Amino acid sequence: MLACFRSVHLAIVLISMLALATLAGVLLPQEGIVEVAQIKRDFGANYRIFKAMGLFSVYSSYWFIALEVLFFFSLLFGSFQWLKPAFLAATRKTFCGPEHIQASPHRLSYVSDASIGTVTAQVSGLLKKHRYGLHKAPAALQKPGQVLFYASKGNWSRFGPVVAHFGILMMLVASVFGAFLGFKAQKLAVPGEVFGIQQAEMFRPNVDESVWLGSVPDWKVRVNDFRIEYYPEGQTPDNMTVVKQYFADLSVLDKSGKETKRETISVNHPLAVGDTVLYQASFNPTGKLFMEVNGKPMKLDTNTTFMNRPVSLTELDNGRALMVFPFFVQQDPNVTRNYVVVFLRDQKGFVGAKPGQMPPNLRLLEGQSGTLSGMTFKYVKPEIATGLQIKKGPEVPWMYLSYIIIILGTIMCIFSQRRLWVAITTGQDGQGGRVMMLYKTNKARLSFMKELQRLQTELLSDLQYNVTPVDKPKPATGQPAPDETRQTVTV
Amino acid sequence: MSELNWYYTALTLLAVSVVFYLLHAIRPKTLFREGGWGTMLLSCLCLIISLVIRSATAKYFALSNMYESLLVVCIGMQLAFVVLDRWFKLRTLGLPVTLMLMGSLIYNLTLPTEIHPLQPALQSYWRSIHVPIILLSYALFAIAFLSSLVFLIKDFLGNGKQDQNQGGGQLTPAMAGAHALQNADAQPHAQTNALNLELELIQDKANVYDEITYRCVAFGFPLLTLGIILGGMWANEAWGNYWSWDPKESMSLVTLLGYGVYLHLRVNGEHSARTLSWVSVIGFVLMLITYFGVNLMGIGLHSYGKIG
């Protein structure tokens, strides 16, 4: 069973299945994003079959969660399986004798007139210059007239996959941790309103309440102000008024009602209170309007409808009635700035109305004043509730740590481990030195060979070596390179 | 010069680069390759200047709509390719890369180019980090795709015939080494040896394109991972949600998983370069759906990137 989870084949199958399942969630309409009635209309008789298969709620379906669990275990056991070989490949120092190097097609061979000591110093100096770590074989492993050493670099890159896998595991564990201890809530609040987190509409723990282990903060929030800032006119290609930012001035109150913190939040700039964070997420006009009539402040309510449109109808002291049609940004089509249209009514109907004509009216943008039938009106602003998203996420620091580990692991994976086994022997006549190198890398073969080419050029040009004719290779074409761990002396 | 004038200059230089690389593909000469490389580099510089002028006009890093993002992808592709070409001195890849760039830059001119003020959600330093990283990964995947295509075409035409007979289309180091040694025997006194021959042999064959695909994916994968993670951190800061299963997010995960399959197949070592090239092609198709497909839908949290 464990062997099955350790299999790279299973990992590949699971990754592919997760990709396909996620793709299904993108291509098929998902409940919560598309209305159920719409899905039913589109899929007709097939709706029930697709629904039963969980294809309209892929990411919360049992089979998708089961896939994630399988993926978790595959990662867990697979990572453990890679840990030992990665550790050995990164840390074990092996040495190859000339016979073994001779048998490999991946070898370089040179002879020099200089003594074996000089050649050893020159070769090791060159490898150090190329940032290779050198390890000389213990004297007991070397025959007389022979120097063996092992050179490597990028050993740490071997741990890349394990580190990345560990980061993913940590991320998955942190998200489960967050599910059992965290919550989300949403609240629409008007300026002046004070509310506790549990009073928030749509307060919901991340898991079913019966198994939830978290707690709700006892502090309260007061919304001091909410405002919308617009880009100055003329800054858009089509001269539309565009929202620049939403600001909510919030105070945090302790149990006694004392203010402990005050900040103005906006989109991308939330307010953190411990591990609970308040986000500026949305806004919603309440339907109430602040106006001034003949200089007298009034708060109007949209209390009726006219031709299926909500309107505010308010009796005035002079026997007339004020009728106000409000229009809101992002609620009414093609409205880019809040405004109202004001009419005056009396017992005969609209004041100043003429048959077949639009009754006299006043269109006022936010902050604008005007006169209608001898009365002055100012549209101060609409009452707008700020939409706050509240989240408690005790897992956040762990989540961020896991992100750093994943990034570190994947970056480590880019690099390769490059290894050289060097054997320097005295020449056959006891004069000069012969250098033999066996080279190997786990990836980036071309780059490695180019580096070896540079290394070789330096050897040949700077050190005045002679190039030897290379012997005919012993292994047949296509035969894999000898495994140095089996045939060499290991320390 | 205006932003668009620099853009057109870049396009013209790129057309010259296409000609150079076409000549180089037909008749390899250092002059042609160097000409293609140089004009490509100049074209890239012109595009960067165009983007800088646009950013100065907009008063923010101009990376908020499809036109600007495709411009950054093209710059990323050019930068990645000039490095690759300098390093590997490729014969065949220059032509498809320049052609794809030409197509992309011409298509980009059909997209809306107006500069709009940033909406509240986009006013964050995260935008200048998350988006370019993702786009750079896309640029690398595009080159990986073209490299895979070149490999598959060469493989199909029999350019790598010798390799296929002995290793399923993949030239193993042992084969290359042995072959090189045999050649070295024939010229015992030449100032070359097994290494040079092994290197030449690999570079001449389709396998160099398999290697380039791998290197591009190996660099693109961490970039995409980083980009997705940074996007999650941004979403957490903006909305209090790392992940919302928004179509763009989900598709980028599918793309990441697709390339994850590629890397695991590679590590597994049981599959031929041909299979891996096909997986790279599939990965690129997934990337295209993520980049263009989801934007065409114009839904979800990333709808500001919608086309048209």
What is the three-class DSSP state of A293? strand
Chain A residues within an 8 Å CB radius of B174: 105-106, 475, 477-481
Contacting residues for A3 by C-beta, under 8 A, at least 6 apart:
none
Contact residues, B window 18-77, toward A, CB-based 8 Å cutoff:
none
Residue B3: what pLDDT?
A: 87
**Considering only alpha carbons, which residue of chain A is nearest residue B220?**
A414
Contact by Cβ (8 Å): A221, A194: yes
**Residue A16 to residue B257, Cβ atoms within 8 A:** yes
pLDDT of A351 higher than 60: yes
CA pseudo-torsion sign B219, B148, B30, B192: positive
Return the structure tokens found at A210: 């019966």
Mean pLDDT lowest for which of A2-6, A10-14, A71-75, B136-140? A2-6
Whether B189 and chain A come into contact, CB under 8 Å, resolves to: yes
Within 10 Å of residue A32's Cβ, how many Cβ atoms?
12
Q: How many helices (H) and strands (E) does chain A have?
A: 11, 25
Kind of pairing between the strands at A204-205 and A183-189: antiparallel
Residue B186: what pLDDT?
A: 36
Q: Which residue has the tokens 């004069």?
A: A431
Entry pTM = 0.82
Cα distances from B143 to residues B95, B132, B140, B155, B289, in angstroms, run 12, 17, 5, 18, 17
With cut-offs at 50, 70 and 90, classify the pLDDT of residue A43: confident
CA pseudo-torsion sign A66, A72, A73, A74: positive
Instruction: State how far the Cα of A351 lies from the Cα of A363, in Å rounded to an integer.
Output: 16
What is the three-class DSSP state of A282? strand
Domain boundaries defined on chain B: 1-113, 129-134+148-160+206-300, 170-203
Instruction: For Cα atoms A409, A412, A418, give the angle at the middle one, nearest 5 degrees.
Output: 145
**Residue B193 to residue A235, Cβ atoms within 8 A:** no
**Residue B180 to residue A11, Cβ atoms within 8 A:** no
Contact by Cβ (8 Å): A326, A307: no
Within 10 Å of residue A282's Cβ, how many Cβ atoms?
16
Q: Which CATH number fits domain A92-154+416-490: 3.30.310.80, 3.40.50.300, 3.30.420.40, 3.40.50.150?
A: 3.30.310.80
Give tens-digit pLDDT for A76-128.
888 888 788 888 888 888 898 888 888 887 888 877 777 888 888 888 888 99
Mean pLDDT by 10 residues, chain B (308 residues): 91 95 88 93 96 91 89 96 86 91 94 84 88 96 95 79 36 39 36 55 68 92 94 88 86 94 86 90 94 71 54
Chain B residues within an 8 Å CB radius of A204: none
Residue A122: what pLDDT?
A: 85
Instruction: State how far the Cα of B147 lies from the Cα of B141, in Å rounded to an integer.
Output: 10
Whether B297 and chain A come into contact, CB under 8 Å, resolves to: no
Nearest residue, CB atoms, A449 vs list B189, B198, B240: B198
Domain boundaries defined on chain A: 2-88, 92-154+416-490, 163-280+386-408, 286-384
> How many residues are given for chain A?
491
Span A65-69, mean pLDDT?
Answer: 92
Give tens-digit pLDDT for A177-195.
988 999 988 889 999 999 8
Cα distances from B20 to residues A285, A415, B40, B91, B205, in angstroms, run 62, 33, 10, 11, 22
- Tell whether ipTM is more than 0.85: no
Task: Report which of residues A433 and A312 the model is more confident about.
Answer: A312
Bridge partners of A490, per DSSP, are A94
pLDDT of A129 higher than 70: yes
Alpha helix stretches (DSSP H) within A182-251: none
What is the three-class DSSP state of A144? coil
